Amino acid sequence: MKRLKEILKESLEPIILDVGTGEGFFIKTLLEHLSSYELIIGIDMKEEALIKAREVYKNDRIKFIYMDGQNIDFKDHSMDIVCISNTLHHLPDKEKVLLEMKRVLKTDGLFIINEMFCDDQSQKQLSHVQLHHLQAELDTLLGISHNRTFEKQQILSLAENIGLKIEDVFEYNSCEEQEKKTKPEEEKKILDECFTALEIKLEKIKEFSEYPKYEAILKELKNELYDIGFLTAGELMVVCKMNR
């Protein structure tokens, strides 16, 4: 992530918009790598997540606002940096949100996309991908917008398709990085939590015709993944500018 620090050091006292901020997880990453900032604004449509974010970031220069990413209530070219992290796969209209972010970005600003990907992962990281795909399918049955994990090229194409110029691309959260600091008992604990959450979600579709199919998939994953182990999927950071 040294690359991110190098990229952000050129932005002096920026105003930053984090779209789909949730509980502000990506803002933590930004703060670790920014040398300074004027204001950080996180927007989301989940009020519960925003309440938690406000409890964590008690700072007058970090604000959390209930706002739809498809209709961003800020003026054209008002932001120095816009970013979106692990949110694209939740959006029903990805292009509309990205175009809104582009609209509010200054002509010389930075557009940052951070997203987990599904290709070129280790076997343990594929455990995360498989569990995420199952969660996405269950959410979709329940009427919740949730797509499967993207491939790296799909993420790059989303930026290119709205006319952004890709300045830098790098991967992080590799298997090698995680193996150094993750113990087997921690992997098991994470799997326990994932399976519990999926069982709760599965109960919500118990009356659906698809229930037996997903019950069998969950059972099969339980049989396989405890033997394989679990590491979080690698992530792709895409740094773009306006295509002049």
Q: Is residue 34 part of a domain?
A: yes
Q: Is residue 120 part of a domain?
A: no
Domain count, the chain: 1
Residues of the chain with pLDDT under 50: none
Which residues span the domain enclosing 6?
A: 1-115
Q: Is residue 74 part of a domain?
A: yes
Q: Is residue 226 part of a domain?
A: no
Q: Is residue 204 part of a domain?
A: no
Q: Note if the pTM is more than 0.85.
A: yes
Q: Is residue 54 part of a domain?
A: yes
pLDDT at 2: 81
CATH number of the domain within which 4 lies: 3.40.50.150
pLDDT at 244: 64
Name, in order, each residue with C-beta under 8 angstroms of 87's C-beta and a sequence gap of 6 or more.
19, 20, 22, 69
Q: Is residue 104 part of a domain?
A: yes
pLDDT at 5: 86
Q: Is residue 32 part of a domain?
A: yes
